[in-house]
């Protein structure tokens, strides 16, 4: 299959992209990295990316930002970062991208454990993750041409432990192999409307 991976050069995206490249043709996208450039916070940029790439069999988004800060410090503009990038960026990828994915193809979005088990400073990040979970369940009911949509929600991944461990007290890091398999399940499986949770709460 021909797969378009937004964020395919990131911490998670690179591992997923390398794994899927064994059996599929990969196009990686990022703001400054990858084969094609896109800023998902800008719907015109998303449209331009699909026009340049053409039809694909699956779109994976492993990108999207939200501002982390204490609740009493987050401004409306701070919330807009997460709304424009991680939430509407991924919604717009599906809204615009539905015309560029071949029949029977799929979308795979990315959220994270904050949707279900937030830590401090994540009122914005947790909120947009939860919004995407609801979006995926609803969009699965209406996508045409057999298009599927799922979201991978993992805990803190092993490769990001050094950077983020202090923000996630007591959380068990998720091995990269398990994270990769969440994306494989979404792309190569047949499920739709699924929130693929990869947590280790024990």
Ligand X SMILES: NC(=O)c1ccc[n+]([C@@H]2O[C@H](COP(=O)([O-])OP(=O)(O)OC[C@H]3O[C@@H](n4cnc5c(N)ncnc54)[C@H](OP(=O)(O)O)[C@@H]3O)[C@@H](O)[C@H]2O)c1
Of 98, 108, 123, 154, the one binding ligand X (CB under 6 A) is: 154
d(CA 45, CA 29): 11
Judged by beta carbon, residue 145 or residue 163, the one nearer ligand X is 163
Tell me the HSE value of 155 on the side-chain side, using a 13 A CA sphere.
19
Q: Does 98 bind ligand X (CB under 6 A)?
A: no
Shortest Cβ 104–ligand X spacing (Å): 26
DSSP string, the chain: -EEEEETTTSHHHHHHHHHHTTTSEEEEEESSSBSEE--TT-HHHHHHHHHHH--EEEEEE---------TTT--HHHHHHHIIIIIHHHHHHHHHHTTSEEEEEEEEEE--GGGTS--TT-HHHHHHHHHHHHHHHHHTTT--TT-EEEEEEE-SBGGGHHHHGGGSTTPPPBPHHHHHHHHHHHHHS---SEEEEE----
Of 3, 4, 5, 13, the one binding ligand X (CB under 6 A) is: 13
Of 4, 58, 62, 88, the one binding ligand X (CB under 6 A) is: 62
Judged by beta carbon, residue 90 or residue 106, the one nearer ligand X is 90
Rule CB under 6 A: which of 99-118 touch ligand X?
A: 110, 112
Shortest Cβ 182–ligand X spacing (Å): 10
DSSP-assigned beta bridge partners for residue 109:
151
Shortest Cβ 72–ligand X spacing (Å): 23
Q: Does 86 bind ligand X (CB under 6 A)?
A: yes
Shortest Cβ 174–ligand X spacing (Å): 8
CB 150 within 8 A of CB 186: yes
Judged by beta carbon, residue 108 or residue 110, the one nearer ligand X is 110
Sole window of 9-17, 69-77, 91-99, 101-109 interacting with ligand X (rule: CB under 6 A): 9-17
Q: Does 182 bind ligand X (CB under 6 A)?
A: no
Contact set with ligand X (CB under 6 A): 6-7, 9-13, 30-33, 38-41, 62-65, 85-86, 89, 110, 112, 154, 156-157, 160, 164
């Amino acid at each position: 299959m021909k797969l378009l991976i937004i964020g395919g050069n990131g911490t998670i995206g690179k591992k997923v992209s390398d794994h899927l490249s064994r059996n599929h043709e990969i196009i990686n996208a990022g703001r400054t990295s990858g084969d094609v450039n896109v800023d998902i916070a800008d719907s015109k940029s998303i449209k331009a990316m699909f026009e340049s790439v053409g039809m694909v069999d699956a779109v994976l988004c492993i990108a999207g930002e939200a501002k982390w800060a204490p609740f009493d410090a987050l401004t409306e503009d701070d919330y807009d970062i997460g709304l424009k990038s991680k939430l509407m960026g991924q919604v717009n990828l599906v809204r615009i991208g539905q015309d560029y994915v071949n029949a029977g193809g799929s979308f795979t979005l990315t959220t994270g454990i904050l949707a279900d088990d937030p830590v401090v400073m994540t009122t914005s990040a947790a909120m947009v993750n939860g919004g995407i979970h609801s979006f995926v369940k609803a969009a699965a009911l209406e996508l045409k041409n057999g298009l599927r949509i799922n979201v991978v929600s993992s805990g803190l991944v092993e490769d990001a432990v050094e950077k983020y461990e202090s923000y996630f007290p007591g959380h068990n890091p998720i091995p990269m192999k398990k994270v990769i398999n969440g994306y494989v399940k979404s792309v190569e499986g047949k499920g739709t409307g699924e929130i693929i949770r990869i947590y280790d709460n024990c």
